[in-house]
Amino acid sequence: MIPITEYDSERKILTALLQGEIDHHCAGEIRRCIDIAIDKYSPELLALDFSGVTFMDSSGIGLVMGRYKLMKETGGETIVLNPRDDIRKLMELASLGRLTKIAYTAHSAAKASSGRKVP
């Protein structure tokens, strides 16, 4: 499903609320959508909020890694927020934690990412 993107211009944080299942079939569309927003706002931090993601496979890992690389090109950082347990396990299997922080927030992704606490 197409993510909802929000930009906090004060703190230069772009949040993408990902939803539903992330597989090869929909990864391309999600990628395009996020990349358009990155291009438009040039954020310093990209927050990928996984609260609404119910399934993910290696295509989702590729998606996160790809956005991490893109953000890195302009010195920006990427953070993963609120993945479910099984999705977090998959991320750990892929050692995604080495590239991006994985954090949990109470509600609003944009609000909590300012704290950027890793549990």
Partner 1 sequence: MKREVKNKMKLSFISRSENEGLSRIAVSAFLSSAGADAGVIAQLKTAVSEGVTNAIVHGYRGITGIVTLECTIYENGLIRTVIRDKGTGIEDIEKAMEPLYTTAPEEERAGLGFAIMKSFCDRIRVRSVPGKGTTVTLDKYIAENG
The residues binding ligand ATP (CB under 6 A) are 58-59, 62
Q: How would you list the strands of the sheet with 77-81, edge to edge?
A: 4-8, 13-22, 45-56, 77-81, 101-103
Q: Which residues bind partner 1 (CB under 8 A)?
A: 21, 23-25, 27, 31, 55, 57-59, 61-63, 65-66, 86, 90, 93-94
Residue 22: strand, helix, or coil: strand
Q: Which does 93 bind (CB under 5 to 8 A by kind): ligand ATP, partner 1, none?
A: partner 1
Question: Which phi and psi (to 5°) does residue 3 adopt?
Answer: -75, 155
Q: How far is the CB of 69 from ligand ATP (least distance, A)?
A: 15
- Which alpha helices (DSSP H) does 1-119 contain, by range? 24-41, 58-73, 85-93, 109-112
List the one residue out of 73, 66, 75 whose CA is nearest residue 45: 75
Q: Which residue is nearest to ligand ATP (CB)?
A: 58
Q: Nearer to ligand ATP by C-beta: 20 or 62?
A: 62
Q: How far is the CB of 62 from ligand ATP (least distance, A)?
A: 5
Q: How far is the CB of 12 from ligand ATP (least distance, A)?
A: 31
